[in-house]
Structure 1
Amino acid sequence: MASSKMEFMVENILNKDDLKSKLLKEPAVSRVEIVGKESVVLESSLSCDAASELLKRETGGTAILWGFGDSNAAVAIMEGSGVRGVIRLGTSRDKGSLIDGTLDGLPPGEHSLQIHVAGDVSEGCKSLGPIYQPNGKLGQIKTESNGRSSFKFYIPDLQVDAIVGRSIAIATPEDEKRYACGVIARSAGLFQNNKKICACDGVTLWDEHYLPAAGLARQQFQNNSSQQTNKKMR
Structure 2
Amino acid sequence: MTSTKIEFAVQMTCESCVKTVRKALENVPGIQNFDINLTTGSVTVESTLPAQEILKTLQSTGKKAVVRGLGGTTAGVAILDTGSDSIKGVVRFVQEAEDVCIIDGTVDGLNAGKHQLSVHECGDTSQGCASVGDFFNPKKSNGRIYGDLGFVKAEKDGRSAFRFDDSVIKLSDIIGRALVISEATTGKRLACGIIARSAGLFQNPKTICACDGVTIWNEKVAPNPTSSL
- Indicate yes or no: 2:175 matched with 1:164: yes
After TM superposition, the structure 1 = structure 2 runs for residues 85-234 of structure 1, keeping only pairs within 5 Å, are: 85-133=89-137, 134=139, 135-173=146-184, 176-197=187-208, 203-207=214-218, 209=219
CA drift of 1:99 comes to: 0.6
Q: Distance in 1 between matches of 2:162 and 2:212?
A: 35
The one-letter code of the counterpart of 1:9 is A
- Alpha-carbon distance, 1:176 to partner: 3.0
Separation (CA, whole Å) in 1 of partners of 2:151 and 2:28: 27
Give the SS at the match of 2:190.
strand
C-alpha offsets along residues 4-36 of structure 1, whole Å, 9 cap, x if unaligned? Answer: 221000002533466335413111211102233
Q: What SS does the aligned partner of 1:77 have?
A: strand
Counterpart amino acid of residue 158 in structure 2: G
Structure 1 residues 10, 129: CA separation in 2 closer, same or farther (over 3 Å shift)?
same
Q: Which of residues 24, 49, 53 is equivalent to 1:50?
A: 53
Count of residue pairs the alignment pairs up: 209
What is the TM-score normalised by the length of structure 2? 0.82
**Partner amino acid for 1:40?**
V
CA RMSD of aligned residues (A): 2.3
Between 75-84 and 12-21, the greater mean CA deviation after superposition: 12-21
CA distance in 2, matches of 1:181, 1:199: 23
**Which has more helix, going by share of residues?**
1
Residues 90 and 175 from structure 1, CA distance in 2 versus in 1: closer, same or farther, beyond 3 angstroms? Answer: farther
Gaps of 5+ in 1: 212-234
Quote the residue 1:40 is aligned against: 43
For structure 2, which runs of at least 5 residues remain unmatched after alignment?
140-145, 222-229
Amino acid at match of 1:141: V
TM-score normalised according to structure 1 size: 0.80
Contact 1:2 1:45 (C-alpha < 8 Å) held by counterparts? yes
- C-alpha change, 1:97 and 1:203, in structure 2 (3 Å) is same
